[in-house]
Structure 1
């Protein structure tokens, strides 16, 4: 049996104010004056000079503000890559993603597509990327997705929602500065944090579980419980712990897989554009049958933080719509296998999935 040989993020800097070291980290990585650094930044920071004034732009360096209102798409990656190629004299020295999971995934995908031919939808899947990406840096400004540490970049393509899973996907450098997560709106903080919590539940109860995944998953699970249920944490501790929960949650997936909530959430995202964090919560709320303890705890967290999930988002869908979501979800074989074992197709039928979607 051969074991997977996974890459890790080789360099990470953690601590409040560590964002201030970005310029000195990038300086030695500049290839030459015609090879710029491109900063892809969540447009909520547009006009936020506290963040942008700390980035020194030299030569042809550029900041591109990007809205994270929608999940990242393959077409969006291709447009960004084309824009960068047409407007730079040489291949960029590096791509720096600053934002939540959407921006981090875009930064990973763009850095891959600058060195690989064709369009990004051809690389959705496992280990299809041929050439190493350009140098890329991830700087999360909200915690939970684990995108800062994972070897995938999840994209919605013309036919499916699926990651570019490859050894070239992980960032070369990550900066974890919890001060950047100050001011995240309460609901968004909760939904994104729950992405991490649900990672843990799905990974820890899955058939792919092993000691490597479990050690990271246990740690992330404990941190999530502290952040979302402990009344004695200061704001600052809560931010730092959630940032580490996200990191550990992302690491636990490296050697295992997620499960039912993620598979179904991909269907919602593909058809309705539902954001990943909230999609996971909408689905997970109805998964007592698969994750009884995890769902019970989730409902406690939801109540404690006064979160009321949207209702009836599948109320007006027709049979064709349900089929689209069901087919997207069922296409994610490794997730079902992890959740329900090798005979998963006997347990989860199209009818059963439809009934679950109808509750949402």
Structure 2
């Protein structure tokens, strides 16, 4: 291996507990450097229905911790929604915030933790290193194998007025504790398993070909690709296959660690306007765009995509960029992910505005191994309007 041409850094959660039943170790794991008397639990309706929120509350209350609970974290949270949630507890004092659920619940928990300790509005935090002070300690417990948010310093905010999603990136968003329990993903519907799994795969492959890729991010990216490639269809077909579920959860976490080290690229930049304007779920948007952006990138990232093909387990004539692209296309068919943006109300007239919005996501566009013009971006969108 040759020496890296750039410096790099890596940071993630200091403690991770994993395995089937790991949620039951929450109480004993709460050995933080501050006393915890009051906690805020942030979750979503599915976690209540399955009894996981009650399980968290019970463990906290056995330790004498008083719990407040938010049950209604919205998918793809908007800045206004985050402000509303924060306003409910602006005068409260919490020693701990627990985020339990999909990526949206985890992101909101991270953002509320810093909004309650900083005199900043959420929109003032958008971008890199804009958060001024540390937040309330967090515990993050994912219920999907998708975003990897539990181990990243990132949180995504939807801005409907700009028809865009933008990230908050800060070391203060990293949690104190992560719990990875595949039992929480067992009841995940097929379409969520597909979309979140492909989201995790997109994190890994984009991190590996990113202009900021480095030895640390590469290690996590390739292991993520290996795990997801061998388990996504099994988890999709049989939610009760706990071995596949656990490997997908690990693959998602490794993908989050990879993007923490190197960042995602043009697929995500093009996906954000689709979510911001047309409410296309993030994992679905990534899945739709991924083969087309990789096809655009292969001229510059061919060697790296051969590494990806090897990690995916592709053999012979398929162990190259073309093989990677064909396999992704095959997955999207088997996972029943739409391939026509018209399904979501997008028309050809929307393409120029979408492309302009994507070009504004400069932090990610600059990571792409092949520079994209606005005309290139428009061409990719139009491939999804057959």
Taking the aligned partners of 2:340 and 2:55, their CA distance within structure 1 comes to 38
Deviations 1:137-172 (A, max 9, x none): 100011121111111101113444211101111111
Q: For residue 340 of structure 1, report the CA deviation from its aligned partner.
A: 2.9
Q: For residue 255 of structure 1, report the CA deviation from its aligned partner.
A: 1.8
**Cα RMSD after superposing both structures:** 2.6
The 10-residue stretch of structure 1 (96-105 or 272-281) with the greater mean CA deviation from structure 2? 272-281
Q: For residue 217 of structure 1, report the CA deviation from its aligned partner.
A: 0.7
Q: Which residue in 2 is equivalent to 1:204? A: 208
Task: List gaps (5 residues or longer) in structure 1.
Answer: none
Q: Which residue in 2 is equivalent to 1:102? A: 104
Q: Which residue in 1 is equivalent to 2:248? A: 242
Taking the aligned partners of 1:80 and 1:12, their CA distance within structure 2 comes to 27
Deviations 1:19-62 (A, max 9, x none): 112233347677464xx201001112234335414522456411
**2:12 equivalent to 1:37:** no
Q: Which residue in 1 is equivalent to 2:57? A: 55
Task: List gaps (5 residues or longer) in structure 2.
Answer: 299-321
Q: Which residue in 1 is equivalent to 2:173? A: 169
**1:211-360 maps to which residues of 2 (within 5 A)?**
211-228=215-232, 235-287=241-293, 288-291=295-298, 292-309=322-339, 311-313=341-343, 316-317=346-347, 319=349, 321-341=350-370, 344=371, 348-360=372-384
Q: For residue 349 of structure 1, report the CA deviation from its aligned partner.
A: 2.4
Alpha carbons of 1:207 and 1:29: their partners in 2 closer, same or farther (altered >3 Å)? closer
Taking the aligned partners of 2:375 and 2:151, their CA distance within structure 1 comes to 36
Q: For residue 333 of structure 1, report the CA deviation from its aligned partner.
A: 2.1
Taking the aligned partners of 1:118 and 1:312, their CA distance within structure 2 comes to 39
Structure 2 SS opposite 1:10 = coil
Give the number of equivalent residue pairs. Answer: 348
One of 148, 172, 178 as aligned partner of 1:146: 148
Taking the aligned partners of 1:130 and 1:4, their CA distance within structure 2 comes to 23
Q: Which residue in 2 is equivalent to 1:82? A: 87
Taking the aligned partners of 1:259 and 1:28, their CA distance within structure 2 comes to 35
* Counterpart contact for 1:30–1:37, Cα < 8 Å: no
**1:119-130 maps to which residues of 2 (within 5 A)?**
119-130=121-132
Deviations 1:284-325 (A, max 9, x none): 243323254432211222334444445414765474x43442
Task: Tell me the TM-score normalized by structure 2.
Answer: 0.82
Q: For residue 190 of structure 1, report the CA deviation from its aligned partner.
A: 0.8
Taking the aligned partners of 2:135 and 2:152, their CA distance within structure 1 comes to 15
Taking the aligned partners of 2:247 and 2:146, their CA distance within structure 1 comes to 11
* Counterpart contact for 1:214–1:252, Cα < 8 Å: yes
Taking the aligned partners of 2:222 and 2:346, their CA distance within structure 1 comes to 39
* Counterpart contact for 2:137–2:176, Cα < 8 Å: yes
Structure 1 SS opposite 2:368 = helix
Q: For residue 337 of structure 1, report the CA deviation from its aligned partner.
A: 2.4
* Counterpart contact for 2:10–2:216, Cα < 8 Å: no
Structure 2 SS opposite 1:216 = helix
Deviations 1:159-191 (A, max 9, x none): 442111011111111000111111100111011
Alpha carbons of 1:29 and 1:354: their partners in 2 closer, same or farther (altered >3 Å)? same
Structure 2 SS opposite 1:13 = strand
**1:182-193 maps to which residues of 2 (within 5 A)?**
182-193=186-197
Taking the aligned partners of 2:338 and 2:85, their CA distance within structure 1 comes to 36
* Counterpart contact for 1:312–1:359, Cα < 8 Å: no
Deviations 1:107-133 (A, max 9, x none): 111111111112101100001111001
Alpha carbons of 1:26 and 1:310: their partners in 2 closer, same or farther (altered >3 Å)? farther
